Amino acid sequence: MIETMTEKDVYLSQHAQLEKELGDGGPDWMRRMREAAIERFAGLGFPTLRHEDWKFTNVAPLVKVPFRLPPVDSPKAAEGFRLLSHGKIPGVTLVCMNGHRPFLARDSKPLPAGVVVCGLAEALRDHAGSIQAHLAQVADYDNHAFTALNTAFLREGAFVYVPPGVDVKEPIYLHVGVSGLGPAGYDVWYRRALVVIGKGSRATVVERFFGPPHATYFTSAVTEVVLGEKAVLDHYKLQQEGDEAFHVAALYAQQERASNFSTHFIGLGGKLVRNEVRVQFEGEGCESTINGLYMAGGRQHMDNHTVIDHAKPHCASHELYKGILDGHAHGVFNGKIFVHQDAQKTDAKQTNQTLLLSEDAVINTKPQLEIYADDVKCTHGATVGQLDDEAIFYLRSRGIGLEQARGLLTYAFANDIVDRVKIEPLREQLERQLLAKQHLPHAPEAKEVL
């Protein structure tokens, strides 16, 4: 009797093949880490609708596609970088094409002394101690199947290190892209990033994910962020995958005393998208800001899952996620705030707002507070609605057509998040994209009408 391989078995077989290809490449501790992760994935399996954290997202369409690992060495990096050459914003740019071979763009700005921006494999030669101390220590692959899968296939990625007491003025860009698919037609890309910000340092990191508009591929991404005492990091993630792409990603942030972390997610593409943000306070006096904007149409599915763990006292978190859903799109927001018994004087706010542009669009929203301390200020809430008829009437009474009026109001709703982006050229670029999506004129005219 011939046994049919399950979806999980396919990935287990691919992992065995990868380890065979890599041979003795890389340090022993990394090989052991990959082995532990694949064993954990084998035990967990892919999540189903019976898992509480996945009850609104069915990953069956993803796991049933015969995704395959691309060759270890891909020649497509330079070709793929041309896909993002227009509208490029000055800064320090590390390009990660097709899951490996990161390289600094030629026009990258000089880095301050001691700051490192490079691929993980390259960094292992000179910064092995720092990488071993943090890699897979913040990301939890014991309890999360897709994080375990990403860790099991970890072979390359991005490494950002800012030593103590350094203020990096220029933004650091991590461009992650797919430039072409292998002979099989369905490729899976595993991408990892480790960002370590030293005591009292400050930096800005922008991650951008992009790919061919109509190709079917799978991006698995895990980003680990470690903030030292009084460190400050502004983080942005732009997800602009193709309309047939699958994107499952998780951001894990660990904050030491009095550190400040902000992250802004802009999700515009993808067929099935799962974006997780998990923040852990490891010291008193920390602050985090977690914002997101997701726009979906057609039959897109976008799932945003956030967890903020207030384990220490005198910490604050601020969270605002906005969704715009059209067509038959399905959105999910599940935000959790845990306040431990010792986390007195916690100040936590969480809001999810969703705009439904179609009667067929669906949102499942579930803001949650779990509080075990008694001296706290915590609020959470969710609103779901359509465009305001009175506002549409007001704009139409001033000679604006129906579709343009709807577009202006949608733009205003979304721009509340985009306007919080501190990098002016990036903010202007995002505003132009939002206006284009609503078929509106350039930003100054639109803002003047509003």
By residue range, what is the domain housing residue 109? 7-283
pTM of the predicted model as reported, rounded to 2 decimal places: 0.93
Q: 173 lies in a domain? A: yes
Q: 256 lies in a domain? A: yes
Q: Which long-range contacts (CB under 8 A, 24 or more apart) does 416-423 make?
A: 416/322, 417/264, 417/266, 417/291, 417/292, 417/293, 417/320, 417/322, 418/266, 418/293, 420/264, 420/291, 421/236, 421/264, 422/204, 422/234, 423/89, 423/171, 423/204, 423/206, 423/236
- The answer for residues whose C-beta is within 8 angstroms of residue 255's C-beta and 6 or more apart is 227, 261, 279, 280, 281, 282, 283, 286, 288
Q: 275 with 397, same domain? A: no
Dist CA 201 CA 227 (whole Å): 9
Determine the 3-state secondary structure of 265 from DSSP: strand
Q: 307 lies in a domain? A: no
Which of 283, 307, 339 represents a domain boundary (last residue)?
A: 283
Instruction: Give average pLDDT by consecutive 10-residue segment, the chain, 450 residues.
Output: 64 90 82 96 95 95 89 50 52 80 83 94 89 95 96 93 96 84 73 97 96 89 98 97 94 98 96 98 97 96 97 97 97 96 96 96 95 94 92 90 91 93 92 84 45
411 neighbors 430 (Cβ within 8 angstroms): no
Q: 92 with 236, same domain? A: yes
Q: 356 lies in a domain? A: no
Q: Which residues pair with 301 in a beta bridge?
A: 272, 330
Q: 213 lies in a domain? A: yes
Q: 67 with 192, same domain? A: yes
pLDDT for position 287: 98
Dist CA 175 CA 249 (whole Å): 15
Q: 59 with 185, same domain? A: yes
Which of 283, 309, 328 represents a domain boundary (last residue)?
A: 283
Q: 429 lies in a domain? A: yes
pLDDT for position 181: 65
**Structural domains in the chain (count):** 2
Q: 292 lies in a domain? A: no
Which of 256, 283, 310 represents a domain boundary (last residue)?
A: 283
Q: 305 lies in a domain? A: no
Determine the 3-state secondary structure of 271 from DSSP: coil
Residue owning tokens 């018994």? 341
Q: 273 with 418, same domain? A: no
